[in-house]
Amino acid sequence: MLDNHDDIHPLFAGAPTTTEFRKLRKRIVRQAREAIDDFGMIDRGAAPDAARPKWLVCLSGGKDSYTLLAVLYELQWRGLLPVDLLACNLDQGQPGFPATVLPEFLTRMQVAHRIEYQDTYSIVMDKVPAGRTLCALCSRLRRGNLYRIAREEGCSAVVLGHHRDDILETFFMNLFHGSRLATMPPKLVNEEGDLFLYRPLAYVAEADCAKFARDMAYPIIPCDLCGSQDGLQRQQVKALLDGWEQNAPGRRQKMFRALMNTRPSHLLDPKIFDFQGLALTDDNSSQTEDAVPDLH
């Protein structure tokens, strides 16, 4: 089992030897493996002679993508992730972007990688009116380029570093601003139907990613294009969740678990539950009762 190993992948060179860090590493690796298995990101029953899948691991230089890269290579190194990995950074032409940081880091870590330059920054600045947030267009252009690169490299999946808190925040953004119950799924097929989109850190807390990257002293590159803008909807939702978590520790995890425990018969969408066909029976089941939690 994973937790019986004391040695670690070269990406963890110089890792702290404290018990606290070891527990953090094991927790993140375990949660990533669980997400990979729970959402069928790899075929555990594939024939030994089947073609080995190849994943494009998207690396922005932020804490989350460094954590993703390290965890995937850890799992691959231990024989628990039978896929080939290609790290990829898309340099979007942002002014002041430290273009040498990631290539030097990946080369030093002996990680196979591709660095792609596409000046999407100029397009975003030209198309988005002053005062509007840049994230939506920036993300769309970035995703299109990553799909292209994945196809060119023969990859079957594009792998992103979104974590538990990203997924929860997106749920509330859709709820508050989009009038729908939806979020980032851990596994998705793109519109063209030729690539998977995976989020192996779906179960990992943002705080764990931050502590892991900080303890490993990875060369973090901040997102000055989108992350520095004030008043973003995501930041407002994050502040709201922070307040709830402070008042009731563990609230984030409870809400996240709720996304995995839906009851269509107790929502209001006739497209996913046949309310018209609901009929009385002799069985007085809980299906007819309100789903109100016992708060006593």
Which tens digit of pLDDT belongs to each residue from 85-136? 999 999 888 888 899 999 999 999 999 999 999 888 888 887 777 767 777 7
Structure confidence at residue 227 (pLDDT): 46
Which tens digit of pLDDT belongs to each residue from 162-189? 999 999 999 999 999 899 999 999 999 9
> Parallel, antiparallel, or unpaired for β 113-117 and 187-189?
unpaired
293 vs 212, more confident:
212
> Parallel, antiparallel, or unpaired for β 54-58 and 84-91?
parallel
Model confidence at 288, pLDDT cuts 50, 70, 90, reads low
Structure confidence at residue 230 (pLDDT): 44
User: Does residue 287 carry a pLDDT above 70?
Assistant: no
The strand pairing partners of 185, in sequence order, are none
DSSP 130: T
Domains of the chain, with CATH numbers? Answer: 2-258 (3.40.50.620)
Amino acid in the structure at residue 222: P
User: Does residue 244 carry a pLDDT above 90?
Assistant: yes
Q: CA-CA distance, 134 to 94, in Å (whole number)?
A: 12
Look at residues 269, 226, 251 and name the one whose alpha carbon lies nearest to residue 164: 251
Structure confidence at residue 65 (pLDDT): 96
Give, in order, the Cα–Cα distances in Å from 179 to each of 171, 175, 176, 182, 260: 10, 5, 6, 9, 20
User: Does residue 7 carry a pLDDT above 70?
Assistant: no
Amino acid in the structure at residue 67: T
